[in-house]
Amino acid sequence: MTFDKNYKILKNYKNKKEFLSVSRKSLFDSIKEICKEDLAIKIRNKGYNKMHHYFPVDYLPFLNFLLKKKTEKYIYNFIANTAYEDLKMKKPFYIDKVANYRVHYPFAIAKKSRLSRSVFRLLDLKNYNNPEYEVKKSITNQNNYQLQETDKSKINYFGKLPVPCYGHSPHRDTWFGHTYGAINLWWSVAGVTKRTGLLLYPKVNKYHLTHTINPSYVKDGYRLGKITSIGLKDGELLAFDPEILHGTRLNNSDDTRIVFSGRLNPEKPKFYENTMAVEYPHWLRSDEVRKGNYDKTFTFFRKDNLSRPKKEKVLKKEVLKKINIDSKISPNKIFKFCNSNNLKKQKVFKIIFKNTELTVIKKSRKFLVFNSLCPHLKYDLSFGHVEKFKITCPGHGLNFDLKKGVSECKSFKLKKYNLKLEKNFFHLIT
């Protein structure tokens, strides 16, 4: 199968009505089991995209666990049936056994969670009938938890943010141990808008990109171009090539985003040789799934099924001119730092202090000066996409107004500075 722009939105497909029925019923039943029936009824009436107003953020891991338990076989069937009937696949294919719900709350709600990495890891999700007890017990015992390497890498990347705030930065799925030649299926259950949906980076599709290890996200220094944010109506399906650079948009809306996702491989699974991620060796086959056989598992270990990435053009990292100032930045000062003749051709450059770095963008004869690092997860905004006087963070799609320093999310503001030109010298005013 081929996709326009490496993805395809299916607005109508054969199993759409059944999908919406199953997904909403499973949500209702799961919320009822975790909390009370009257709360489940209230959320159903208000809309599942507004459940963050009623269902505690700390209970989300229990909800995800229970949803997967209730719907796993349905997911496999939806994948098989949709691929045969709507994607027109004709021969049996493999279905990754890793299939799940993804429930993301608005950042303003998620950041209030008590679920640090240690607390999250100590939760006994099987005790979903008593979530508050589990959360409090885990909080009490969190200092006894021995952090694993995966935990340390998450903390190193996400800092002190609680687990419900986690979201993927730009990546390709093979970097995380998934397979080449796959098709991702991403069903919208509720709240998938352009302010909450999947981010795609189409400009760099055909380029080789380097990535970090644990977690495996694209390295800073690339100009990734204008980002496409995918919004979907309830029930719509996004099918996309997981080798498109993609990531999670920071949810700055008043919507809970709920999706239902799975992955298939038309051919025998092959894996990226340079990943250090966990393995995904267990697969079902579509013809067996359609017979109702979920016990016959096909296993493909990475070491026996390696594949090298196809040769791609190398996307060169952009090297920005840097002006070093041998002092710390401090408020209410003026720093005379550079002759303007040295920067005539520079549309973007950096000012490096001992304690911070600033980015300067020349636009419409104005100089826009701001802290280089996004206050969310420290992505370098110097490489963000600028349109009019707004810049988009290349990490998670957050937009900042460069005139005012505000963003779409009230939690994050950008520190701005003034730059004046006097007698051919730049003066930074803090």
Domain shared by 332 and 287, yes or no: no
Based on the fold, state whether residues 136 and 44 are members of the same structural domain.
Answer: yes
Q: Is the pLDDT of residue 3 over 70?
A: no
Place of tokens 């799961």: 30
Same domain, 378 and 292: no
Q: Where does a domain end: 296, 313, 330?
A: 313
CATH number of domain containing 333:
2.102.10.10
Flag whether pLDDT at 245 surpasses 90: yes
Question: What pLDDT, in 10s, does the model give residues 122-164?
Answer: 999 999 999 999 999 999 999 999 999 999 999 999 999 999 9
**Does an H or E element contain 38, and which?**
helix 37-46
CA torsion angle 347 353 356 359 (round to 10): -10
pLDDT for position 339: 83
Element (H, E) at 31: helix 16-34
Residue 2 has pLDDT above 70, yes or no: no
* The pLDDT of residue 59 is above 50: yes
Residues spanned by the domain of 121 = 4-313
Nearest to 248 by CA among 223, 229, 222: 229
Among 313, 334, 357, residue at a domain's last position: 313
Q: Specify the CATH number for the domain of residue 223.
A: 2.60.120
Instruction: Please tell me the distance from the alpha carbon of residue 294 to that of residue 109, in angstroms, as a whole number.
Output: 38
Higher pLDDT, 229 or 310: 229
Q: Are both 191 and 115 inside the same structural domain?
A: yes
Clarify whether residues 292 and 342 are in a common domain: no
- Per-residue pLDDT, averaged over 265-294, amounts to 94
At 238 the pLDDT is 96
Q: Are residues 24 and 109 in the same domain?
A: yes
Could you give the number of structural domains in the chain?
Answer: 2
pLDDT recorded at residue 341: 80
- pLDDT of 276 above 80: yes
Give mean pLDDT, residues 240-249. 95
Residue 1 has pLDDT above 50, yes or no: no
- Rounded distance between C-alpha atoms, residue 41 and residue 35, angstroms: 11
Are both 156 and 102 inside the same structural domain?
yes
pLDDT of 389-424, one tens digit each? 999 999 999 999 999 999 999 999 999 999 988 888
Shared-domain flag, residues 192 and 276: yes
pLDDT for the residue numbered 99: 83
Please tell me the predicted confidence (pLDDT) of residue 310: 79
Asked if 284 and 394 sit in the same domain, the reply is no
Residue 158's pLDDT is 95
d(CA 375, CA 378): 6
The pLDDT > 70 percentage for the chain reads 99
Instruction: Report the share of the chain in percent with pLDDT over 90.
Output: 84
Predicted confidence (pLDDT) per residue in 160-189, tens digit: 999 999 999 999 999 999 999 999 999 999
| 307 pLDDT more than 60 | yes
* Alpha carbon distance 186, 23 (integer Å): 13
**Of 313, 345, 371, which residue is a domain's last?**
313
Q: Which of 100, 90, 98, 95 is nearest to 79 (CA)?
A: 95
Q: Are residues 286 and 387 in the same domain?
A: no
Give CA–CA dist 377/335, Å, rounded.
28
The angle subtended at Cα 391 by Cα 385 and Cα 394, nearest 5°, is 55
| Residue 189 shares a structural domain with residue 88 | yes
Residues 153 and 253 in one domain: yes
Rounded to an integer, the average pLDDT of 108-122 is 97
Mean pLDDT of the chain: 93
